[in-house]
Amino acid sequence: MARAVAETVGTRHKRGAWSELVKRKNPAFKSLRKRAAAITCNTFNLSLQSPVVSVAAPHTLRSWLQTVVPACWPGASPKTLRELRGDASARRYWRVYLEPGESGAPASVIAAHLGPHDLPAYARALKLLPEPLPEPLYLNVGRFLKALGVSVPEVYYARGARPADSGSEPPSNGVSETIGESRLILVEDVGEVSLIDAVKASPARAPELFRAAIDELMRFHVDGTARRDLRCPAFSIAYDERLFAWEMEQFLEEGLAAINAGAEQVTVAPEVAGLAVRLGRLSRVFSHRDYHGYNLFVQHGSRLRVLDFQDALLAPAVQDLAVMLTTRDTASVIGPLLEAELLAYYIDQARHRVEPQIASLLDPVSFLEEYRLAVLQHALKAIGRFAQLSRLGQHRYRAYLPFCVEQARRILAASDDFPALREALCR
């Protein structure tokens, strides 16, 4: 039974298999945990993210550090800087190695430039919040998460940080060349070992580390939702039908043609719209939104640190899980049995953490159906996004496309409710 569940959520299989599973109840989840210890994950020797960019640090940054570092740790001074490669945003990061003296300063810290915008592109395009914001989202959301006990980096210095100018435009290459002090902050360096890196180095630790990631996610979904605070903008942004549909526009405009040049938008567009409608109807929790193995870092062997949280919002719980278990090249470290075991673990943990009347509503069959839709939507979104980034010259994202396409294909092969998409992507 465990393998049947795993095949349903993790591999390509015969049409209708998902519907068959939905007719069953959940005894599979009990035996699934027993099988987890025997899981061996297949890993690829794949290096998709270079940690360092060879660009001289701006004079403004060096000057700012000369003032800020001794203000935080009297007697300390910045020694050397190395710019780190960020993800697909205009934010920039530098690892700053310190000369601590006798100040007790850490060996290194991270200088972050928050970029020309606080709100992500979708929030600006859909006008989800008025700008300018009262303060940078990184600081606001980070403060809320720290109060929840989420293991976010310490903020060492942000006294001069100001909200972004709502009239500013991002640079054409996605990287902000102008470094203004009002967008600089100094934060804790959580190291260089992402969750994905840690699991690739020690595949046998995958169940342990991903369960730890789910434990941390519970602080978002259960504690964060219960402690709703309207001073945190995340509670004013919903992952609703409109946002799901907006995200998949790139798939229709660029991703579809990149996978199948002969496919027609007009044929698949109604199914994409229907997917957005179905996901938009789901109940929502406080969500990280980009909760994956490259935004989770492992310290001291087992402690997880959470990064890139500034775009938190209200979303279906399965959205974070779909991202964590399937995004990018995650399939290289999470096989179908482990995926199913982790979904079962999430349901068990949620049932123990929420009120009894809510726990009774956590039906595994319904939850798996919602997860199926979330995985498909995320895969389509990612195909469109990575196809666009590749076209714009950020070719390292092209390596993720085969993984995203396979995620979409295995979901489409599982049932008959998206025939046009299946025809376009599974040919």
For 76-113, how does the pLDDT look when each residue is reduced to its tens digit (9 = 90+)? 999 999 999 877 788 999 999 999 888 899 999 999 99
List the Cα angle 324/327/328 in 5-degree steps.
135
Sequence-distant (6+) residues with CB within 8 A of 362 are: 347, 350, 351, 354
Please name the CATH architecture into which domain 2-46+195-425 falls.
Answer: Alpha-Beta Complex (3.90)
Cα(80)–Cα(78) distance, rounded to whole angstroms? 6
For residue 206, the surrounding DSSP H or E stretch is helix 206-218
Cα(157)–Cα(187) distance, rounded to whole angstroms? 7
pTM beyond 0.85: the answer is yes
- Tokens linked to 181: 């002090």
Per-residue pLDDT of the chain (427 residues; tens, 9 = 90+): 345 455 555 444 444 444 444 444 444 444 433 333 332 222 222 233 334 444 567 899 999 999 999 999 999 999 999 999 877 788 999 999 999 888 899 999 999 999 999 999 999 999 999 999 999 999 999 999 999 999 999 999 999 999 998 665 555 445 555 689 999 999 999 999 999 999 999 999 999 999 999 999 999 999 999 999 999 999 999 999 999 999 999 999 999 999 999 999 999 999 999 999 999 999 999 999 999 999 999 999 899 999 999 999 999 999 999 999 999 999 999 999 999 999 999 999 999 988 775 676 689 999 999 999 999 999 999 999 999 999 999 999 999 999 999 999 999 998 899 999 999 999 7
Are 147 and 97 a contacting pair, CB within 8 Å?
no
Pairing type for strands 313-315 and 92-99 reads unpaired
Cα(112)–Cα(93) distance, rounded to whole angstroms? 5
Cα(259)–Cα(250) distance, rounded to whole angstroms? 13
Are 157 and 68 a contacting pair, CB within 8 Å?
yes
pLDDT for 233-252, tens place per residue? 999 999 999 999 999 999 99
Q: From the CB of residue 27, how many other CB atoms can be counted at a distance below 10 Å?
A: 10
Nearest residue to 4 (alpha-carbon basis) of 414, 308, 320, 419: 414
